[in-house]
Each structure stands twice: as C-alpha cells, then as structure tokens.
Chain A
C-alpha cells in the first residue's frame, strides 16, 4: 500500500482538519467527533444533514454550505458514523423548521441515522428522512436490502438544499428530495480497486485486462467481471441498464459523469462525449452536465454515470445558487 498518509489511525481526523483549514469561511467542526457544520448557522431554515463513511470526498463535508447541506457526519473509512455523532450534528444545526436527514441505503447507515433521529426526537426536534437508492446494479427485490445509495445522492443535496434555502417547509423539502430519488439512476464500473488504509490491501483483485461492472462505492466487488473494452462500449452498457430502469425518452435530464477518485478528467470527458451522443440520438435532452469527482471511493480507478430526469421544479432548484467547498 502506497498512500500519502501518516498513520492509518489518523486518516479521518487529519483529512477533516485539512478540509477545515482549506475552507474556514465555509466550515466549522464540532468538538465531538468528525462532524462539520456551516461556519454560520442559518436560523429558521430546514436543516439538511448527511454523512456516512469517509473515503468519498468531497462527499459529504464538501457539500456543506449555502444551498446544500448544513451538516456532514464522517465515520471511519467506509464505516457508518455512530448515532451519537449524528445526534450531535442534528442538535447543532436543528432549527424550529426541522431537520432532514439524507441517508444512503446501507444497513449500517440507515440504522445509525435512525437511532440518532430517535434521540433527537426525544429532545423535541422535528426530524424527517429520505434514503437514496439510485444504484441500478443491485436488484431491488425482496431478497436484498435494496439498491445502494451512490452518486445520485449529490443531486439530493443540491435540490433539497435549494428548496430549504428558499424557505420550504420540512414536508416540502422532503418531497423535493424524494422526487430526486424517484427520478435518479446510477451505475458504476471500475478498472482498478481501492485500498482501505486500515485493511492495507484492495477489496478485490482485477486483472490488467479486466473491468468490474456494477461497482459500489465501498470497494466491494461489482456484479459482473468482463474484459476491458473501448470507453464508448462501456458507456453503452451502463446506459442500457439505466435507461431500462426509468423511461427517460423525450425528457430533460441532468447528467453526472462522476470519477471514483483515481480517474483522470481526460477520461471522464471522453466518457461524457459518448454519453451526450447516445442520449441526443435517443431524443433525451441534456439540460445540465456535471463532470468530475463528486462521490469517490478513495483512489479507485473507475466512474459512475448518473441520469436525473427533470421537471420544471427540479430544473429551477438545480439552477438555484449554491456555495460550498465542492459545489458552486
């Protein structure tokens, strides 16, 4: 394992400290645990809180700021934060308007956030939640805990955040978030796995000429292994799954070509080039495109493709101003 770290035990703490030092105008850290909140609390507004394991930077601390999150709670690498940390985050940002928790669909995340919610509600804080589950690679069936929440979550932060910033009530902010969840789908692929610092070795092995389709964001194996092929064909395969899941025909979409942490922008642009060609050919109108590292898996070499189907409300909220370290 070769990484720019000092001690595996301090990875999360030093990362948060570095983030704070880079963006003091945006972020403040609570004394207890790795919870970052906006430097200045906005009273009277529904507060948005998200989080999960570390290793997905800039998610979620990078999205704390005007128009997006109010708090982000960071657990150990790829491990859910504990309820007491989430609870402290909720308490720090709660207003009379209430708090919306944006949770990615993983058993641990859901349970820890729901426990924090119980604790906060016992204090009389109004808390609602949404659970993102945009990954089409995992079957949503009776036999699994359902789809995983991946890069589409960033659109929830943006759109629900804009709704809250505009003075939306808790139910309205939650409804906006749910509308994103209902209309967003993602699928990812990896060329090379990532290594959790504490584990010291990759979560799985991939041959020089192999790719892992349907990869999650925690270095866990995907759903299918196949030989490497040209970028356009990989895009075609991802789009086959995404477009089969929701009917996007004739609609406006936001596209996110999200790097997993170790993929050059050059390649993300090559991928985006074909995404646009295919969608245009299918009569799907691209309203806005995001290319970059939004939801990473440490140094994984891979990317995910997200499509969000837009209506007028979602367009307006997507266009509303945001000012955070990672999204402006």
Chain B
C-alpha cells in the first residue's frame, strides 16, 4: 500500500538514483547510441524535482501524469517520449486515487508497458527498456498470484529487471539509433533497460 505523499518520495528517490548513475548510463549509450541517455534523463528528473511541490497532496494519478509531462518536455530524444508515456499511462491508471495496493500497482506497470510498446512500435527481444520492463512485471504478477508478501513481490521484480537488462547484451537492436550499428551492438547492455532496472529498484526500496 502506498499513498500520494509516499509516491512523491518514491519519485524523488528515482531521480536520485538516475542522477547518481548519470555517467554510467551515458557510458552505456556511447558505443551504440549518441552518448546522452544519462545526461538527458538526469536533466528530466531535475525538472521533475522542481515540479513535484506544485502537485503535493494531489492524487497519485495527477502526480504521475505531471512527472510524465515534465519528462516529455525536458528529456527530448527517444527516452523522453518513452519514459514520459510510461509515467503518464501509469498515472492514468491511478487517476483520482490517493492510495494504491499491489493490484493497482501491477495494473499501472502493465499500462505503462503497453504505452511504451505503442509509442516505440516495439516489443521484447529488441534490446530496449521493454526487455527489463516485461519480465519484471511477469515475475511480480507470478509472485502476487502465489500470495507472496509485498517485499517478496518487489524483490522478484527488481531481480528480473536486472536479468532482463543483462539479457540485452545478447540481443541485436532493431529499434532506435542502436539499430544502425546492427551486430556491432552485441555485448553491450541497453541503457534504457538499465535505467529501468534502477528505476524499479528505487521504487522497491521506498515502496513500503
């Protein structure tokens, strides 16, 4: 169970880990992209941090929608629309709610994933953030169905997200700028899948 105040704190912690990992994420982007993923994401979350006080006390849907809009208008490139869409879709699934449970949370992640697939015209196994997002949601759904505790469910999600990010090393990108390098991208971990694993990790450690 989490509420509006907690949601704002969680977003703050996501921003913190993105800022901490800014250079690492940018470094991952260098061989396959245009070496700006960490820089762009950190710029977006710096803007989010400034924006959060303006929605303090609002419902979770409004908070996440604001996060999404802010990311979209400050990050640019492909990460801006993709992460922005993810937060906006999650927000739409939580519209009007000031408290959410695990079932709501899993629905929000599912909608976020659908949004990313739609926006990126993409799916798993294409070396993108979806390769961390989809397996992690599946792992959480499985744990939820098995009646596991909140902590166990989130831990399963984080573990699967990191495994998914690792898995992108063996994939040839067919979407985004990385597709121009083709097989030369093999062996490189996708920066978007990595930033998503960090995101879910931050959410998990602050959820309860």
Interface of A with B (CB < 8 Å)?
75-76, 79-85, 107-108, 111-112, 114-115, 138, 142-145, 220
A107, B72: Cβ atoms under 8 Å?
Answer: no
Interface of B with A (CB < 8 Å)?
34, 69, 72-78, 80-82, 84-85, 119-120, 172, 174-177, 179-180, 182
In the complex, A83 Cα to B179 Cα: how many Å? 23
Kindly identify which residue among B73, B78, B84, B182 contacts A108, using a CB–CB cutoff of 8 Å: B78
B174, A82: Cβ atoms under 8 Å?
Answer: no
Kindly identify which residue among B73, B172, B180 contacts A83, using a CB–CB cutoff of 8 Å: B73
Q: Which of A79, A111, A114, A138 has the most CB of B within 10 A?
A: A111
B73, A115: Cβ atoms under 8 Å?
Answer: no
- Given A75-B76, A84-B73, A108-B76, verify A144-B174 contact (CB < 8 Å): yes
B72, A82: Cβ atoms under 8 Å?
Answer: yes
For B73, the chain A residues whose CB sits under 8 A away are 82-85
For B174, the chain A residues whose CB sits under 8 A away are 142-145
In the complex, A79 Cα to B80 Cα: how many Å? 12
In the complex, A228 Cα to B151 Cα: how many Å? 63
In the complex, A81 Cα to B80 Cα: how many Å? 11
B81, A83: Cβ atoms under 8 Å?
Answer: yes
Min Cβ gap A61→B in Å is 19
Pairs A–B under 8 Å by Cβ, sample size 14: A75-B76, A82-B73, A82-B74, A82-B75, A84-B72, A108-B76, A108-B77, A108-B80, A112-B81, A115-B85, A115-B119, A143-B174, A144-B179, A220-B34
Kindly identify which residue among A75, A85, A107, A138 contacts B78, using a CB–CB cutoff of 8 Å: A107
In the complex, A79 Cα to B73 Cα: how many Å? 13
In the complex, A82 Cα to B47 Cα: how many Å? 14
In the complex, A76 Cα to B40 Cα: how many Å? 13
A79, B81: Cβ atoms under 8 Å?
Answer: no
- Given A75-B76, A80-B76, A115-B72, verify A144-B180 contact (CB < 8 Å): yes
